[in-house]
């Protein structure tokens, strides 16, 4: 079985996934009041969070890690039992804010192992992307539910490891969820459904865009310890995959979600434009993907502090329709001569994370182990890697060639605290 066939996501399963997401959209309301009588496909009654606290360990306690830990605590269905970060002061600050006992605050590269051994039921992984596949796989091996930041890997072996871990999680009746926010928004879901139900007809063209102001890229030090904080790792392919992986993945994931498949070939080019670069991530890139049926997908990437408005979007066109899925702005589906469907995408960074935290909780307590985000995360990350490699090589590269290469990319971890 080829990887493409192994991970192909059917339109039906994607629509079912979206439909299952829609009841989760009223974030901030009482879980018990909203869903006291709701029954999931498993037939199990959902308890309210206060009646079922999930012991959670959080690995990676920096900016997003500490922020999302607070959202887990606010949810009401989690007990933050243990934390770990490479830097002990960071773990301590997060532990202080969350009330985690000092004996369960860990540091170093192996801190995640101590979190796993601390008696947690679930693991939230908020580390630089290079480390995610190793930690997530270890969590599944230990029998834990796993919640992951994106992207889940920076190279092909990491993607394959996540794919295997996702299947193992399902086999072990464990939840394995990747925290993409775009597919949780109600307006994006409405556009997705319109396309999925065939209202667009045969698709003709796809465009995705990733634009932001880039990251600070200070000089390297004796070890990469200094690159493990303040998102500096976004500049380094071996740690973060590069900006067109760590940032643009949101837009690429939207395309994979909407299309239900990944491309078979990419052509592109890229350039580093920032003065005195120290990492190897490109600042601008242009990639053209092609799918098995000939569908063309253009992706534009720019990460420069030139005051261009930030964007993470996916646009899809057919003969007489257009569909926009967005992180900010408006989600729109419109057929020629008809009134547009959709509306503004609101507060997605926070609201999307809250929805995913709630989805993770519900999947655990009702026993829903479908884990549909795992194969899509693998396809989306492989697509961004294919685009990155084609752009860096300034040429054409097929997905089959990329998978056959199976190139492992590793940072130099010498000098770091174990």
The percentage of residues in the chain with a pLDDT greater than 70, rounded to a whole number, is 88
| Residue 35 near residue 76 (C-beta atoms within 8 A) | no
- Of 119, 138, 135, residue with least CA distance to 127: 135
At 201, is the secondary structure helix, strand, or coil?
coil
Residue 288 included in any domain:
yes
Q: Same domain, yes or no, for 132 and 261?
A: no
Residue 351 included in any domain:
no
Q: Same domain, yes or no, for 148 and 67?
A: yes
CA-CA distance, 180 to 319, in Å (whole number)?
Answer: 30
Q: Same domain, yes or no, for 107 and 197?
A: no
* Tokens describing residue 173: 């009746």
Q: Same domain, yes or no, for 255 and 330?
A: yes
- Domain with residue 158: its CATH number is 3.40.50.720
**What is the reported pLDDT for 157?**
98
**What is the reported pLDDT for 20?**
41
| Residue 249 near residue 381 (C-beta atoms within 8 A) | yes
Residue 135: domain span: 3-182+360-371
Residue holding tokens 């995408």? Answer: 345
Q: Same domain, yes or no, for 318 and 364?
A: no
Q: Same domain, yes or no, for 153 and 199?
A: no
**What is the reported pLDDT for 51?**
61
Residue 388 included in any domain:
yes
Q: Within the chain, which residues score under 50 in pLDDT?
A: 1-45, 47, 49
Residue 417 included in any domain:
no
CA-CA distance, 310 to 298, in Å (whole number)?
Answer: 18
Ordered DSSP codes for 347-387: SHHHHHHHHHHHHHHHHHHHT----THHHHHHHHHHHHHHH
Please name every residue paired with 117 in a beta bridge, in sequence order, or none if there are none.
Answer: none
CA-CA distance, 78 to 90, in Å (whole number)?
Answer: 21
Residue 413 included in any domain:
no
Ordered DSSP codes for 291-311: -TT--EEEEEEEE-SS-PPPE
**What is the reported pLDDT for 52?**
87
Q: Same domain, yes or no, for 161 and 195?
A: no
Question: For 415, left (φ over 0), alpha (ψ -120 to 50), or beta?
Answer: left
Q: Which helix (H) or strand (E) holds 203?
A: strand 203-212
Residue 141 included in any domain:
yes
Q: Same domain, yes or no, for 25 and 136?
A: yes
- Domain with residue 393: its CATH number is 3.30.360.10
Q: Same domain, yes or no, for 174 and 279?
A: no
Q: Same domain, yes or no, for 174 and 296?
A: no
Residue 410 included in any domain:
no
Q: Same domain, yes or no, for 265 and 390?
A: yes
Per residue in 332-381, pLDDT (tens digit) is 999 999 999 999 999 999 999 999 999 999 999 999 999 999 999 999 99
Residue 354 included in any domain:
no
CA-CA distance, 21 to 94, in Å (whole number)?
Answer: 30
User: How many domains is the chain partitioned into structurally?
Assistant: 2
Number of CB atoms found within 10 A of residue 166's CB: 29
**What is the reported pLDDT for 34?**
30
Q: Same domain, yes or no, for 342 and 214?
A: yes
**C-alpha 80: how far from its chain's center?**
22
**What is the reported pLDDT for 22?**
37
């Amino acid at each position: 079985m080829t990887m493409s066939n192994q991970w192909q996501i059917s339109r039906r399963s994607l629509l079912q996934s979206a439909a299952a997401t829609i009841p989760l959209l009223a974030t901030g309301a009482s879980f018990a009041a909203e869903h006291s009588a709701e029954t999931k496909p498993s037939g199990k009654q959902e308890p309210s969070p206060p009646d079922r606290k999930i012991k959670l360990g959080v690995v990676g306690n920096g900016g997003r890690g500490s922020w999302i830990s607070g959202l887990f605590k606010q949810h009401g269905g989690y007990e933050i039992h243990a934390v770990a970060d490479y830097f002990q002061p960071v773990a301590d600050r997060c532990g202080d804010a969350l009330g985690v006992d000092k004996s369960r605050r860990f540091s170093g590269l192996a801190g995640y192992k101590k979190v796993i051994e601390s008696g947690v039921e679930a693991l939230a992984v908020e580390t630089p992307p290079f480390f995610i596949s190793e930690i997530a796989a270890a969590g599944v091996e230990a029998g834990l539910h796993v919640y992951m930041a994106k992207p889940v890997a920076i190279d092909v072996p990491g993607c394959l490891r996540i794919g295997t871990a996702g299947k193992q999680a399902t086999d072990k009746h464990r939840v394995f969820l990747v925290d993409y926010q775009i597919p949780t928004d109600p307006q994006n879901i409405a556009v997705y459904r319109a396309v999925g139900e065939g209202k667009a007809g045969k698709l003709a063209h796809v465009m995705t865009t990733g634009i932001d102001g880039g990251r600070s890229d200070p000089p390297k030090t004796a070890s990469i310890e200094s690159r493990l904080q303040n998102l500096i790792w976004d500049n380094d392919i071996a740690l973060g995959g590069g900006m067109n992986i760590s940032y643009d993945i949101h837009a690429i994931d939207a395309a994979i979600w909407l299309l239900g498949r990944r491309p078979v070939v990419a052509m592109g080019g890229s350039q580093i434009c920032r003065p005195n670069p120290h990492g190897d991530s490109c600042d601008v890139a242009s990639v053209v993907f092609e799918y098995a049926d000939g569908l063309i997908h253009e992706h534009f990437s720019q990460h420069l502090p030139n005051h261009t408005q930030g964007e993470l979007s996916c646009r899809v066109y057919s003969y007489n329709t257009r569909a926009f899925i967005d992180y900010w702005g408006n989600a729109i589906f419109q057929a020629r001569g008809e009134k547009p469907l959709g509306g503004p995408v609101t507060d997605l960074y926070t609201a999307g994370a809250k929805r995913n935290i709630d989805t993770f909780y519900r999947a655990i307590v009702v026993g829903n182990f479908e884990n549909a985000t795992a194969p899509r995360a693998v396809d989306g990350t492989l697509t961004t890697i294919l685009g990155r490699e084609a752009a860096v090589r300034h040429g054409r590269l097929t997905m089959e060639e990329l998978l056959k290469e199976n190139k492992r990319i590793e940072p130099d971890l010498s000098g770091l605290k174990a």
